[in-house]
Amino acid sequence: MEIKRTVENLEKNGFLVYMAETTVDAQKIVLEKIIPEINPSSISYGDSLTLEETFILDELRREKLIRMIEPIVDGTFDTTYESSRKGLLADLFMAGTNAITEQGELVNLDMVGNRIAGIIFGPKSVVLTVGTNKIVKNKAQAYGRIKKITAPRNAKRNSDLSVPCQETGICSDCTSEDRICNYWSIIDKCFPAGKIRIVLINESIGL
């Protein structure tokens, strides 16, 4: 894993990168540096175990001047879908990313697509919290990591779904109605430059 090379290439590709040694450092960077710079009036987010483990969202929910657009309200698909659509118009969208290549590319796989959509278009600014364990050599390794590790583990987190990999831990490229592997995205470069900020945490965190 080449962290230095990855950071350099991310910056060449137009991403703003902040290095954090721990999740506590990551929280401080977001709350004390990035949020004051962006000064968002509204924030939404995509599902991310890494983001959860930083407790950043918990702190932001306490901010009276920031409106949190929660993607999940009552747990129903229709309500979640509509809330996620509204989140695409937030000033700031927060999420994680499934993999980062050493060439500075972001690779993601979604079930519904709201996370990918929010990262690419809609919100004025994007902040991604990512562990260094997500760094891979190239896109081929990114695909492999996501299908072999991320997707099966993510499926197990969602007990309301019914997909084979929840039991086997192995992706079988299923045809289940609950399949979570539907939408791929590759972000080669950030446009406009600086729109996407990446807080890279020097820990093995998330999926």
CA dist 52 → 44, 94, 150, 206 (Å): 13, 11, 16, 9
Q: Quick one: pLDDT at residue 158?
A: 82
pLDDT band at 207 (very low <50, low <70, confident <90, very high): confident
Write the pLDDT tens digit of every residue in 170-188: 888 999 998 999 999 999 9
Interatomic CA distance for residues 121 and 21, integer angstroms: 29
Q: Which domains does the chain have, with CATH numbers?
A: 3-139+181-201 (3.40.50.10420)
- What pLDDT score was predicted for residue 161? 86
Give the model confidence (pLDDT) of 136-160 as tens digits: 999 999 999 999 999 999 888 888 8
Higher pLDDT, 198 or 64: 198
Give the pLDDT confidence score for residue 6 in this predicted structure.
Answer: 98
Confidence band of 20 (pLDDT split at 50, 70, 90): very high
Determine which of 44-48, 50-54, 76-80, 104-108 has the lowest per-residue pLDDT on average. 76-80
Using alpha carbons, list the distances in angstroms from residue 168 to 127, 143, 152, 165. 33, 19, 8, 5
